[in-house]
Structure 1
Amino acid sequence: MEESGYYALANTDRMSVFLICIKNKQGELSGNIVNFYLKEPVEFTGILDLGLKIDTLCARLHRPMATTEPRFLDAHMKEAYEKRELDREHIPLKYCTKIQNMDRFMAIGTTAYETLVIEIHQRQFSSMQGRIKEKCIEGNYISFRSALELMRMLREYEYMRNGMDERTDKISGQ
């Protein structure tokens, strides 16, 4: 990602904007989730992990607020989830109310194989709505109406990446 892309992100409501830095060239998506208010990037492995971690980050950053409480099969599962994911005493999330050093985020983004930008606008009906952009400075945002739709978009993106890489390898003789 180029430096101008970071300055464009800095002029938005940064609390619910996540820069997804993809580390791998092929296979299942994995990398880091970066936000201007996080002191450290959050690692993810796979599309499901990415979606759940973005939801947890939104819950911890309190933006956007969820309109419904998550449901669980029983009370014990709810307590375990809250302790594991939301309890700041047991797993403190390193975040602060001030914007972190942008140069540090530029370094993370420029070393990533690929970057995506995901903005979460609302969290309604136990899901999230927002938009995604494939490259920070190129292309248009595509809106998604649910976490499932976002996961489907990311799965197709993953398939496209793997297919494109295979064709490139065949052409180059590797």
Structure 2
Amino acid sequence: MNKQRIAVDMDEVMADSIARFREWYGRDFQLELTLEALRGKNPHEAVAPEHQPALRAYPNAEGFFRDLPIIKDSQRVMKELAEKYEIFITTAAMEFPNSFLDKYQWLRQHFPFLPWRNFVFCGDKSIINADYLIDDNAYNFDGFRGVGLLFDAPHNAHETRYRRVCGWQEVATLLL
């Protein structure tokens, strides 16, 4: 019997890239970038205009994705899901070409139970053939044929078109 497939985004679903934006912004400008300031906005939209180019450049910088914090409960729930489903990591790495090696090494370190063959570095996620896509960016559901599950993040606070999951425990409740 074939298992159902779940495609899982990396940034803001498994890896906390917002923490890196906040860290580097504090380092570079000695200002705090709060989660409340990020509500409904991308990081560069939440800062003064003169700081926006720096925030837009961060994801292209070497090392930005190297050692991101792990989203709470993602390892445990993903391991449980992998027993029941076929799991694919689908990350839009094409947008940030410097991220490939860092993302690959991060996945191997923190999710060693997932086979490297199931890592998909892509641009348009509508090509992914899966039953579910767990992602923090609603535009990735455009053209996706399965069920989109919007992983809660500050920037998608105002998105209402898709089923929202607020953390990995809710994913577990829904899919396990």
Q: Which has the higher contact order (CA 8 A, sep 6+)?
A: 2
Larger Rg: 1 or 2?
A: 1
TM-score (norm 2): 0.29
Structure in which a larger fraction of residues adopt strand: 1
Structure in which a larger fraction of residues adopt helix: 2
